[in-house]
Amino acid sequence: MLVGCASDMTYVPKIPPRAQAKLLNYFEQPGNKVFIIAIDPGGNYAFGYDYGKPTLAEAAKVAVKRCNASRESSGVVARPYIYALNNTVVYEERIRKAHEDSAAEELKAQKEELEKEDAAVNSEAVKEQVLN
């Protein structure tokens, strides 16, 4: 059974004003930097960033650790997303991509469930025909 509704709408949380000051500081820092933020529907947020590492991957590891520590201490349960890689803002793009991937996975799971149900029903129908 397929359930749900299709929608092209993706909710992209707005950056709270208090977090914008943190972003200004981030953008002033040297390269190989990553800013990660998690924003609850009520506007509570947690973030982490790092900069000046040899690679973006190294900066991302530290930023994730800092964001997760901030989420834990402030009780933020929202999923964190990358806001910026170096000076390129990728926040909305990352949220939309995650939404698309999640929707595709859900449709795939529903299709597989439907195919299993169809196979079971058809198998029973074939058995009935053979027995009659």
Residues 29-86 pLDDT 10s: 999 999 999 999 888 999 999 999 999 999 999 999 999 999 999 999 999 999 999 9
Spatial CB neighbours of 110, under 8 Å, sequence gap ≥ 6:
1, 2, 3, 4
Longest dimension (CA), the chain: 79
pLDDT at 112: 77
pLDDT at 129: 65
Find residue 46's DSSP bridge partners: 38
Structural domain boundaries in the chain: 14-89, 92-132
Average pLDDT of the chain to the nearest whole number = 84
